[in-house]
Each structure stands twice: as C-alpha cells, then as structure tokens.
C-alpha cells in the first residue's frame, strides 16, 4: 500500500536517464585495468557529457541555493567511484559492464545543504521506477543469477531477521531488523569483498590484493584474504583510529597508513596496485561486490513470508542498496526499496535529483561508514532504475536510533549501522504508516568508544525527549526564581549561567526534558509573555557542538571572522594550522572537543581586516582543511556577539 503524498512532498524532476551497456565483453590482459578508475561505457559517457554541457540543471534549477560562505581547498579533486580488476577467463565468470577506457566527464559539484526535506519524506525519487519498466533493462536477470550463485557463505553467515517488539509497539508497525551487525567482522561488507575475491584466478590471488578503506570494507577484505590464502594490503589514512587498523592487522593483513584523507589513501593504493600487480578490491562499485551484498535481500525474502511494505537500506556508495534492489525488485517488485542517508552526506539523493552523479563539496563525518562524496557508476545506474527514493535523517536521529537499538536488545550499533533504523522510524511517522511490515538493516557495529559520549548527549534530542534553549534574564535579584517558576513542571536537565557585571541581561543556556511539542511551545510562550526572550537551539548543530560551551563569552571583537574547520585527527594538525595563519592574524576564539570522527570539528574566530580577507582565504585554501563560514548563523550572533550588538 502506497503512503499518501503529503502536501510538502519533495518530488524533483530528473532531466535525463543514463544507462550502461550490460553486454559481456571478453578482454585480453592488455586491456584489463586493475588499478584504474572505472571507465564508463561509451554510450553512458556520451550521455553524461551531453547532460553536463547542455541539459543538466544547475543546483539552482530545482534545489535551494547553497549555503553562502562554504569553501573547500581547490587542490582536492574528488575521486570518482572506485573499481576493480575484471576476473580472468579461468575464474568463475563475473558480471561485466562495457569498460572501454574513456576519460570521465567532470562531475557537477554540489553541497549537501542544497537538498533538504521534511524528516521522513522521500527525496531523490528516481525518474523511472520498477513500475515503469525499470526491471526490463539489461542486466536484471544476470544480477539475479549472480546473487543466487554467490559464494559469500564460505565466510559470511545468514544473519537473523528479528522483530523489534518495543519499536513496533511504539510506531504501530511490524518492524523487523536485519542483523548484519552480527557478521564475523560486524558488518555486511564481508559479503561483497569475498564474492569478488573468490572469483579471482589462482594467479591473481598469488599476486595479492589491495584496497583503501578506513572502516568495515578493510576488515571484509582482510578476512576474505585469510580464507583464500591471499596476501592483502590495506591502505588507511593516518587519521584512522588505532582500534580500527589494529582489528585489520589481527586478521592477518598488512596495514599501511598513508595520507590525511581517504582520497589520498586511495591514490596511493592504486599506485601500489599498478607497481606490484595486485588486484584492487573496491568498496562498492563493481558488479561482483554488488551481487555479494545482494544476498542480504535474498535472505530477507526467504526469512519473511507475507506482505512487506518496504526495506530500508543505509546508503554510502550504493553497493548494498543496489544489490538488494537488483534481487528484491526481480522477485518481489511490490516491495519498496528505500535508501537512507545522513542529511550532510546525501550524495545518492542529490545524484538522483540531478539525473547524474555529483560530487559533494563537503561531507559530514559522524556516520563515517557512509561518508562518501561520490556514489558509484554502476550503483547509481541500478538505483535510478530500481529504488523508490531516499530518506534523509539528522545526526540527532541517528543517535536516537543507536539508543533505541540498545534498549531493544542491548546491542550498540555504529552510526552508519543505525542509519536505516532512523530512516524507517522517520518515514513511518511522516506518512502515518500503521499495521504494515517494514525491514531496517542494521549494517554495522564497529563503534568507536569515544563517540558514545556524543551519542548519549544527542540521543534524547533526536527522539525529542530533550530540548536545548537559551533565555535572556535581567541581571537583577529574583530573576532566577522567576525563571524557574515559568519553566513550571518541565524537568531541567542542564543549566549554565555566569554573572556578567557589565551586562544588563544574562544569557542562560539550559536543557529541558519534554514529552510533547505542545508542552515545549507553552513554556516558550510563558517566557515570551514575561518579556524573557527565549530561543530554541535544539536543531542548530553549531550551538550544540560549540556555542553551548561559551556561556558568558559574548563580546564585540573587531574584524572577527568565524569559521568551522575540519582538522585531521593526527599529531601536528594544530601546529600546521597555526603555522599557516598565526601570528599573521590574531585568533579570538577556539573550541575543539574530540567526537570520535575521522576529522575534528573545530570552531575558530580570527581577526582579519577587510583588506586581508583574500589573503586569509588563500592561506586557508592552501592549508588543505575543509572549512565553512558561520558568520551568517544567527545563533553565533545571539550567543557570541556583544549584547549591545544583538
């Protein structure tokens, strides 16, 4: 049963439809490119180039304008989706696309903020879905056969499909969780990696394999290599937490830490692949990888009999959702396949909206397992044809779903692992779904322990059990008591205040436990009616990450620019920043707190005279750290600027 279309439903036009030839091609060893970027099919390339130069819309055609002030280092070139070597004729025949080498057309660059929708609503709805004949396209039967013939069960296990009783009762649906977090490496990534590697010839295995990954794909390749008796090199950025690369080492692979970012690690891996004759194992964009991940969909169909409304799938590069859709839409076409992405890492949704793959200018790193700037060519083609749309969720909602999973069965998921669960809940609430059966895939449980602090802080906010607010109180006796009376029966869970001898008003930052939107609205109205200005900060990440810690720190600083920088989590990152910008300009504000991400979110204030702005931006670009202006954020003006300037 299709959900009713809401009044604000985001349904964006698709200007073109791109397909890739699925005709099998037999190539000699001279035309095999084991270390190269994926050369697209000629027909697809011609369509892509034509779309980029003529009919492709600019982001402003049907998307909101990008956030002003966002900048990134010009020296970074976003890589296209990764690929792998074609298997030799001696190996079991893999799925193949027409891989004639052509220089790829440049991809459109967009910012994640250019596509947002109401929580739970479908965005990025493809222009042609399964009901319009997408399943009749080339390659559908080949994928179905490849999934059925997959060898993943040499190392992977058939994970259980568990009914989530507490969540089902709360949402009014039958919610089942596909427990891919119970795989031997605590992630589904093992399936695709092994399926591809098992088809390599003995000669290729003897030459060894290589991949670039900072997470679950690395462990999947390492375990697969150990099973197949193959030497594996895993290239990881130097910013990778020790717990992750130690886990890969324990599986027998050789870990090489290279570069500050995934792009740099990948470039090194492909160079070494060429030099040593190894086979590159991509994380998502290869037919054998996709077919291996598709076994998740095969298991769901087998394990769950009866009506099924939708399967919710986390989306990074698109390998998992492409594989599931390729199988499920062939055998159960009535089942919706819905992707879930973080609102700040929405490469697939934006690609579907634009009708072509795009490159994200920056990507949020909280759900690092899906923090991908460019989706795969083949995964995008399949998603265009087969999936029913994308749901975008916030970081707070992901944290809330991690807590939900813990309360359900005492298991802790990583952020990307809880992504589909957050999307399923948001979708059910938005469309008022009742009585239907839905499945969410818990894709991984490789959680960094230090990230749990942030999860606990934001989980109640994400489930709307806590709100973060700021109220201005007159600096006079009795005002605190008056404030407490106005809060009433609402439970205060956090309170921050510092007396300001120079100010007439005090800024109080606090959190309250809430039960309904009506109760919160009534409390804010009581404050406003008593002439106590109150601002709800619950949905402002800048306030929650940084500004809530600056109580009493408002002042007027001449020529101050405020930016958020993403520092690589490695020794020397701070000194590199200071050597670039100081003492040329005075640093007026600095706030950093480790959050267990691959990059540190740092708020910086710098006094830069107007005539030096161009020089500052040039130096910041050359620094190589991504950064974004916060000068237009109203919460910055509220909490940091002098009261006389508010």
Residues 486 and 465: their CA atoms lie apart, in Å, by 19
130 has a pLDDT exceeding 60? no
232 has a pLDDT exceeding 80? yes
The stretch 152-166 carries a mean pLDDT of 94
The label of the residue with tokens 């706030």 reads 591
Question: Which among 189, 258, 373, 544 is annotated as catalytic?
Answer: 189
* Residue 604, phi then psi, degrees to nearest 5: -130, 135
| pLDDT at residue 505, rounded to an integer | 77
449-461 pLDDT tens trace = 777 877 887 887 7
442 has a pLDDT exceeding 60? yes
Residues 429 and 170: their CA atoms lie apart, in Å, by 10
Q: Are 548 and 454 in contact (CB under 8 A)?
A: no
Structure tokens at 80: 């296209």
Task: Determine the distance from the C-alpha atom of residue 17 to the mean position of all C-alpha atoms in its chain, rounded to a whole number.
Answer: 25
Rounded to the nearest integer, the mean pLDDT of the chain is 77
Query: How many Cβ atoms are within 10 Å of 93's Cβ, its own excluded?
Result: 13
87 has a pLDDT exceeding 90? no
| pLDDT at residue 97, rounded to an integer | 42
| pLDDT at residue 555, rounded to an integer | 65
Q: b/e for 586-624, b at 16 or more Cβ within 10 A?
A: eebbebeeebbbbbbbbbbbbebeeebeeebbeebbebb
| Higher-pLDDT residue of 274, 642 | 274
Alpha-carbon Rg of the chain, whole angstroms?
A: 25
Give residue limits of the domains in the chain: 110-125+137-182+290-455, 189-287, 464-640
Sequence-separated (6 or more) residues with CB below 8 Å from residue 222: 232, 234, 248, 251, 252, 253
The stretch 597-616 carries a mean pLDDT of 85
Same fold: 110-125+137-182+290-455 with 464-640 = no
User: Angle, to 10 degrees, between the axis of helix 377-386 and the axis of helix 347-354?
Assistant: 70
Which of 279, 275, 266 is CA-nearest to residue 210?
279
Measured CA angle at 391 (ends 171, 164), to 5 deg: 30
Dihedral sign, Cα of residue 465, residue 637, residue 612, residue 581? negative
Structure tokens at 549: 């810690």
Sequence-separated (6 or more) residues with CB below 8 Å from residue 264: 237, 258
Residues above pLDDT 70, as percent of the chain: 76
Residues 248 and 15: their CA atoms lie apart, in Å, by 43
The label of the residue with tokens 């009433």 reads 488
| Higher-pLDDT residue of 351, 601 | 351
CATH class of 464-640: alpha beta
600-609 pLDDT tens trace = 778 888 899 9
154 has a pLDDT exceeding 80? yes
The stretch 419-443 carries a mean pLDDT of 94
Residues 565 and 629: their CA atoms lie apart, in Å, by 9
In CATH, the number for domain 110-125+137-182+290-455 is: 3.40.50.1100
Residues 94 and 449: their CA atoms lie apart, in Å, by 39
225 has a pLDDT exceeding 50? yes
Question: Which among 443, 511, 544, 588 is annotated as catalytic?
Answer: 443
pTM over the 0.75 mark: no
The stretch 347-360 carries a mean pLDDT of 92
Catalytic site includes residue 189 = yes
466-474/534-536 β-pairing: antiparallel
Helix (H, G, I), strand (E, B) or coil at 185: coil
| pLDDT at residue 68, rounded to an integer | 34
pLDDT band (50, 70, 90) for residue 32: very low
310-320 pLDDT tens trace = 999 999 999 99
Q: Are 384 and 135 in contact (CB under 8 A)?
A: no
Catalytic site includes residue 443 = yes
Please give the CATH architecture assigned to the domain spanning 189-287: 3-Layer(aba) Sandwich (3.40)
pLDDT band (50, 70, 90) for residue 16: very low
């Amino acid at each position: 049963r299709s959900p009713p279309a809401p009044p604000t439903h985001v349904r964006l036009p698709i200007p073109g439809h791109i397909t890739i030839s699925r005709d099998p091609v037999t190539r000699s060893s001279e035309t095999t490119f084991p270390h190269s970027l994926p050369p697209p099919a000629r027909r697809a390339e011609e369509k892509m180039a034509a779309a980029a130069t003529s009919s492709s819309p600019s982001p402003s055609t049907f998307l909101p304008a990008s956030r002003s002030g966002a900048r990134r280092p010009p020296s970074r070139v976003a890589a296209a989706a990764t690929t792998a070597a074609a298997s030799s004729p001696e190996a079991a025949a893999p799925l193949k696309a027409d891989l004639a080498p052509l220089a790829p057309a440049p991809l459109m660059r967009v910012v994640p903020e250019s596509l947002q929708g109401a929580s739970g609503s479908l965005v990025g709805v493809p222009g042609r879905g399964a009901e319009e004949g997408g399943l009749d396209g080339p390659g559908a039967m080949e994928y179905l056969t490849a999934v059925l013939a997959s060898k993943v069960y040499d190392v992977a296990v058939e994970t259980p499909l568990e009914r989530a009783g507490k969540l089902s009762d709360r949402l009014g649906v039958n919610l089942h969780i596909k427990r891919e977090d119970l795989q031997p490496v605590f992630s589904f990534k093992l399936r695709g990696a092994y399926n591809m590697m098992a088809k390599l010839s003995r000669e290729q295995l003897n030459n060894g394999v290589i991949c670039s990954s900072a997470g679950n794909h690395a462990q999947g390749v390492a375990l697969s290599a150990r099973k197949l008796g193959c030497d594996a090199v895993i290239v990881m950025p130097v910013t990778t937490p020790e717990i992750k690369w130690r886990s890969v080492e324990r599986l027998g692979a050789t870990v090489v830490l290279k570069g500050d970012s995934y792009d740099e690690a990948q470039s090194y891996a492909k160079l070494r692949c060429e030099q040593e004759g190894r086979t590159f194992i991509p994380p998502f964009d290869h037919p054998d990888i996709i077919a291996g991940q598709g076994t998740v969909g095969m298991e769901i169909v087998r394990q769950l009999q009866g009506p099924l409304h939708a399967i919710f799938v986390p989306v990074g590069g698109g390998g998992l959702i492409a594989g599931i859709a390729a199988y499920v839409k062939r055998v159960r076409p009535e089942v919706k396949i819905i992707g879930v992405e973080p609102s700040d890492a929405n490469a697939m949704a934006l690609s579907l909206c634009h009708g072509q793959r795009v490159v994200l200018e920056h990507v949020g790193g909280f759900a690092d397992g899906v923090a991908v700037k460019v989706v795969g060519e083949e995964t995008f083609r399949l998603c265009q044809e087969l999936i029913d749309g994308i749901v975008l969720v916030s970081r707070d909602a992901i944290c809330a779903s991690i807590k939900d999973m813990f309360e359900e069965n005492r298991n802790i998921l990583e952020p990307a692992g809880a992504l589909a669960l957050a999307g399923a809940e948001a979708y059910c609430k938005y469309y008022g779904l009742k009585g239907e059966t839905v499945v969410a895939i818990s894709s991984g449980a490789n959680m960094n322990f230090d990230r749990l602090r942030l999860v606990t802080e934001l989980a109640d906010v994400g489930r709307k059990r806590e709100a973060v607010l700021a109220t201005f109180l007159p600096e006079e006796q009795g005002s605190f008591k008056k404030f407490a009376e106005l809060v009433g029966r609402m439970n205060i869970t956090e309170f921050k205040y510092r007396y300001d001898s120079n100010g007439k008003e005090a800024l109080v930052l606090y959190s309250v436990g809430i039960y309904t939107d009506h109760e919160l609205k009534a409390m804010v109205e009581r404050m406003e009616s008593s002439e106590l200005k109150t601002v709800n900060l619950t949905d402002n990440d800048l306030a929650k990450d940084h500004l809530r810690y600056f109580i009493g720190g408002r002042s007027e600083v001449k020529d101050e620019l405020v930016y958020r920088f993403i520092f690589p989590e490695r020794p020397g990152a701070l000194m590199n920043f200071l050597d670039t910008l100081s003492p040329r300009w005075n640093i007026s504000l600095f706030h950093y707190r480790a959050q267990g991400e691959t990059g540190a979110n740092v708020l910086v204030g710098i006094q830069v005279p107007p005539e030096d702005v161009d020089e500052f931006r040039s130096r910041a670009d050359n620094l190589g750290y991504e950064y974004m202006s916060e000068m237009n954020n109203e919460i910055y003006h509220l909490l940091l600027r002098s009261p006389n300037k508010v």
